[in-house]
A and B are shown apart, each in its own frame.
Chain A
Amino acid sequence: MSKLLQSQGPLLALLGLVLLFSVITDSFASWGNLGAVLEAAAIPAVVAIGLTFVLMQASIDLSVEGVASLANIILAITIANSVTATDIGLWAVPLVLGVGLAIGATSGAISIYVRMPSLIVTLGMWLTTVGLAALLYPGRLPQILDTRITGLAIGKVWGLSWIVYLTLALIIMALLVEKHTRFGRMCRAIGENEPVLVMSGIKVIRHKIAAFALAGGCYAAAGILMGARIGVGNTQSGVGLLFPSIAACVLGGTLLSGGHGGVRQSMIGVLILVTLRNGLIMVGVDPLLQSALEGAVIILAVAGSTWHLRRKIRVIK
């Protein structure tokens, strides 16, 4: 029993929350609200996928907000829009994803070759990309006119927008990469014990750079989906993505210390956070107190889910 609690704690917490909100409110357990929860979870889930591979390796990436904003702006000014004359059509999508991958790979390479903690490198990258997004901003809010992008948010199939389906497809791909590729297994191994891998002659460096590149690509994808949803290019579009997505990964069991968790766990974490946010509104908690309750839940959930790891002599930073 206690073993089940340990391994499936976050999932049980999610089910418990769903059950609790369904019992105490009438409006929570409805198809419409389920859809709302999934819509709200989609973009944080895309960010959390990328973050998961980095966290599994015991590194961290803080550049989400900058990279997503930059991706959003580049998309908005290169596709058909109301301000600039450029229109490269759907080529904007691979362009933006490529920029994301390149930024991620740069962070990874700097961290490894210049030997600096990823926390600092990606903090620097966060500010740099925020600044670049602001520099590229064409002065007036560019409205995205290409309906193939905005249609992702407007067009619905079975009550859910294409954003949700694209996210689901991305989650499945990420799960396959995690379970069935050498890179996926290496991510966990690097977090568990990197020196041993290095000594066994494994080229750790390329797996580490790949994780940062993948993360950058995911943030760029989040920026594109954000563009589809808000329909404009905004330098602030990525703001507010960082802390919830890190919190979601940690809540689900992808620990910052590396080697634990995975995509499935992080997705459960995202759902916990979104369900909580949604449910608290349904219950009628003062929206001004939202972030206070979220904060308390983050602390309690992490304390609860890592309780079994407690030891007398343990370094906690």
Chain B
Amino acid sequence: MDATLRFLRRNGAVLVLLVILAAVSTAAPGILRWRAINSLLQDNAPMLILIVGATLPILLGCLDLSIAAMASLAAVSAALLSPVLGSASVPVVVGGAAALGGLQGWLIGRLQVPSFVISLGALGIFKGVAMYLTGANMVGITPGIWIYDLLGSRSFGMSNSFLLVLIVAGLFAAMLKFTNLGRNIYAFGANEIAVYISGVRRDMVRSFAFATSAGCAALGGIMMISQTMFASATVAGSLLLPALVGVVVGGTAISGGVGGVLSSLIGGLIAILIRVGVTISGLPPESQDVAFGITILIAVALTTDRAKIGVVK
């Protein structure tokens, strides 16, 4: 029994993914066609990259609520900068986003204010600035800029946006596994005081985690405009919840220290499949949210490591 439970806990997310995939593909075999998969992955690449980025703060036991607002702000800024900077607008925007994220992480430690509050404030700030920059209108992007065309197109039959998601996720996974910084992130989530006493600079670790989540969010925003060719201040606003759901369903514990980028990616795929499953099974689209809600509850109930939780809060 214990062994079964442990197996479920370790591979719960993958099993859930396979079960849902089996169910969906029996109902509609067409979903397994390469073209269908490809277009699903392309449409959802922005959400997936947000999920990848959101994982790092959650590994610390923090929460970054500003990612969706950051993605919108980045999309808007990229659209506004692209006529001047061309392809260079992408590194500028992603770099700027990472700096703002790093600032958030640094402020959490300096002001000793919970990440929930800092990133909630940042959500408001980013949203307000994006609204102000656009005057609450749509902003189009100049066609024919190399980097946006690249992100919007395909190579080796795969969407370039999705390939970028895979590359970024792979880099982060390697970083978490093989570098000191990566191990410090897990240790930070497991026991922050111990990390502090062993001489790790907490501010650095936190700033790094929040810089990556903001940088990934900016990439997500840029992927969105490379597909739709326009941006608005609320273009990515609805991605916050699905992104957090993806991370959590994948098995990364909100309490920190457990999980990883690749599990989050699996969680993201589960979220996509639930949406598809609801649509093709002929259920009213409104039941999507119910399905999401119940899946989170079941997935987390299966994957949470109770040994870490002394008191349930």
Which A residues are closer than 8 A to B by beta carbons? Answer: 57-60, 110-112, 114-121, 123-132, 134-135, 137, 194-195, 243, 246-247, 250, 256-258, 286, 288-299, 302-303, 306, 309-311, 313-317
Closest-by-CB residue of A relative to B57 is A317
Provide the bound-state CA to CA distance between A132 and B284, in Å: 11
**Are B131 and A131 in touch, CB under 8 angstroms?**
no
Say whether B286 contacts A137, CB under 8 Å: yes
A-B contact pairs, 15 of them (CB 8 A): A114-B301, A117-B255, A120-B254, A127-B289, A132-B290, A137-B286, A289-B131, A289-B132, A291-B127, A292-B128, A296-B125, A302-B114, A309-B112, A313-B197, A317-B60
Query: Which residues of B101-151 are within 8 A (CB) of A?
Result: 107-109, 111-118, 120-129, 131-132, 135-136
Is the CB of B25 closer than 8 A to any CB of chain A?
no
Among candidates B62, B111, B286, residue contacting A131 with C-beta atoms closer than 8 Å: B286
CB neighbors of A among B167-219 (8 A): 192-193, 196-197
Interface readout for B286-310 with A: 1 if CB under 8 Å, 0 if not?
A: 1111111110110011001010011
Chain B residues with a Cβ closer than 8 Å to the other chain, count: 61
Q: Is B311 an interface residue (CB 8 A)?
A: yes
Q: Considering residues B108, B121, B309, which has the most beta carbons from chain A within 10 angstroms of its beta carbon?
A: B121
Name the segment of B84-92, B241-249, B261-269 touching the other chain.
B241-249
A126 to B284, CA, bound (A): 18
In Å, the complex CA distance between A111 and B296 comes to: 13
**A127 x B114 contact (CB < 8 A):** no
- Contact between B293 and A126 (Cβ–Cβ < 8 Å)? yes
Measured CB to CB, the nearest residue on chain A to B61 is: A317
Q: Find the A residue at minimum CB distance from B301.
A: A114
**42-92 of chain B: CB within 8 A of chain A:** 60-63
| Option from B122, B284, B311 in Cβ contact (under 8 Å) with A194 | B311
CB of A117 within 8 A of CB of B313, answer yes
Closest-CB distance, A113 to chain B (whole angstroms):
9
B contacts, CB < 8 Å to A: 60-63, 107-109, 111-118, 120-129, 131-132, 135-136, 192-193, 196-197, 241, 244-245, 248, 254-256, 284, 286-294, 296-297, 300-301, 304, 306, 309-313
> Do A124 and B296 touch across chains, with their CB atoms under 8 A apart?
yes
Question: Cβ of B111: which chain A residues have Cβ within 8 Å of it?
Answer: 299, 303
In whole angstroms, how far apart are the Cα atoms of A152 and B304 in the complex? 46
Taking A59-B313, A313-B193, A317-B256 as contacts, is the C-beta distance between A298 and B131 under 8 angstroms?
Answer: no
**Bound-state Cα–Cα, A249 to B193, Å:** 28
Given A250-B117, A291-B128, residue A124 in contact with residue B311 (CB < 8 A): no
Asked if B123 and A243 make an inter-chain contact with CB atoms under 8 angstroms apart, the answer reads yes
Cα–Cα distance between A17 and B309 once the two chains are bound (Å): 42
> A111 vs B297: C-alpha distance in the bound complex, in angstroms?
10
Q: Which residues of B sit under 8 angstroms from A314, Cβ to Cβ?
A: 112
B313 near A288 (CB under 8 angstroms)?
no
A138–B300 Cα distance when bound, in Å, is 33
How long is the Cα–Cα vector from A292 to B196 in the complex, in angstroms?
A: 33
Chain B residue numbers with a CB within 8 Å of A303 are 111-113
Contact A299 B255 (CB under 8 A): no
**Given that A120-B296, A123-B296, A127-B241 are known contacts, is A115 also in contact with B309, CB under 8 Å in the complex?**
yes
Interface contact B312-A117, CB-CB below 8 Å: yes
Knowing A250-B117, A289-B132, A316-B113, say if A112 contacts B289 (CB, 8 Å).
no
What residues on A are CB-neighbors of B248 within 8 Å? 120, 123
- A-B pairs, top 6 by smallest CB distance, nearest first, are A292-B128, A295-B124, A131-B289, A128-B293, A134-B286, A131-B290
B244 touches A123 (CB 8 A): yes
Contact B312 A295 (CB under 8 A): no
A291 CA / B66 CA spacing, docked (Å): 13
Task: Please give 18 more A-B residue pairs, beta carbons under 8 A apart, in addition to A123-B241, A124-B297, A135-B286.
Answer: A116-B297, A117-B255, A117-B312, A119-B254, A120-B248, A123-B293, A127-B296, A129-B293, A134-B284, A134-B289, A195-B310, A243-B123, A291-B124, A292-B127, A295-B122, A306-B113, A315-B193, A316-B115
